Homo-oligomer: A and B are copies of this chain.
Amino acid sequence: MILTVTLNTALDLTYRVPALVPHSSHRVTELSERPGGKGINVARVLTALGHDTVVTGFSGGATGAVLRELLAALPAAGGPRPATLTDALVPVAGDTRRTLAVVDRATGDTTQFNEPGPHVTAAEWTAFRQSYEELLAGADAVALCGSLPPGIHVGAYAELVRPARAAGVPVLLDTSGEPLRRGIAARPDLIKPNTEELAQLTGSREPLRATRDARRRGAHAVVASLGPDGMLAITPDGSWQASPPAPVKGNPTGAGDSAVAGLLSGLVEGLSWPDRLRRAVALSTATVLAPTAGDFDRAAYEELLPRVAIEEHAPGAA
């Protein structure tokens, strides 16, 4: 089983409006709701790839109840083999946040509003820590994903990386800012920053330099996602650049979460680094191409997989 942690889960709302005009009134012509937060998105892709997945983190209030109902009602993944998505969210007294994407039908552009999330108390954090360590005992790998809700201290991810390392469970950390900086120091197996997150962390916008610097800060392996240019991996086993066969147009929402799912599933399946990177790049490209934000287009994924280009960097260069 793969465990994904989403401390700041969300109910993701999408409003479609004919055209967004600030300071006017809009009739919402189409409305959708789905369970969200990075770790939950990763879990959806993992189950679609045939991996039994457990989601944990926090859930509370009326919005949390809707989130859990929607999680329970997710259609069974149509992947290579049936896989389960199990809800192990820990209750909190506060309300789970909503995120709202307002899509302008005239231009296709999206305007995003993110609620802050519930205030998590020290007792709730302790209850989560205990549940997390129990779940780790049955996990083949764990992904720690996304922002921290109010009340959770910025060193929280370091507190979750350490017991995973102690239990010998490979741990991937996908966050940003100070929680990433603190989390890296606890030596996660893998981080997957994008260019912006890398620049925040290292001060450099030069991918190779920034990726190396991120690795020196404590991560065993760093896979930097370079958007349309693919991914750059610096690992103890070597360094590679993986690129999609051609640039694609579409909605990049969720592409990073699909890449996390690709990397983690490949690790659990014992794939080589080049094969993990092929999967991650094909999945994230197929996510950009999917009509629904955050889903991936399975046919496109299978078509792209053998066409991802892998270039090995000479040891000296990396």
Contact = CB atoms under 8 A, between A and B. Distances in A.
A231 to B, nearest CB: 23
A62 interface: yes
Contacts of A109: 22-23
Interface residues of A, number: 29
Number of copies: 2
A28 B112 contact: no
Interface centre among A65, A69, A111, by most B CB within 10 Å? A111
Contact of A62 (B22, B27, B65, B104): B65
A112 B20 contact: no
A17 interface: yes
A100 to B, nearest CB: 7
A31 interface: yes
Contacts of A66: 62
Nearest to A62: B66
Interface in A15-34: 15, 17, 20-29, 31
Nearest to A69: B62
A116 interface: yes
Contact of A114 (B22, B27, B100): B27
A84 interface: no
Interface string A26-44: 1111010000000000000
A116 B66 CA distance: 19
Given A65-B62, A111-B22, A27 B102 contact: no
Interface in A58-95: 62, 65-66, 69
Contacts of A107: 23
Contact of A28 (B27, B29, B31, B116): B116
Contacts of A26: 111-114
22 contacts: A15-B115, A20-B22, A22-B104, A22-B109, A22-B111, A23-B104, A23-B107, A23-B110, A23-B111, A24-B112, A25-B111, A25-B112, A25-B114, A26-B111, A26-B114, A27-B114, A28-B113, A28-B116, A31-B115, A62-B62, A62-B69, A100-B100
* 3 tightest A-B CB contacts, nearest first: A25-B112, A23-B109, A62-B66
Given A23-B109, A28-B116, 18 more contacts: A15-B113, A21-B111, A22-B22, A22-B109, A22-B111, A23-B104, A25-B112, A26-B113, A27-B116, A28-B113, A28-B114, A28-B115, A29-B116, A31-B115, A31-B116, A62-B62, A62-B65, A62-B66
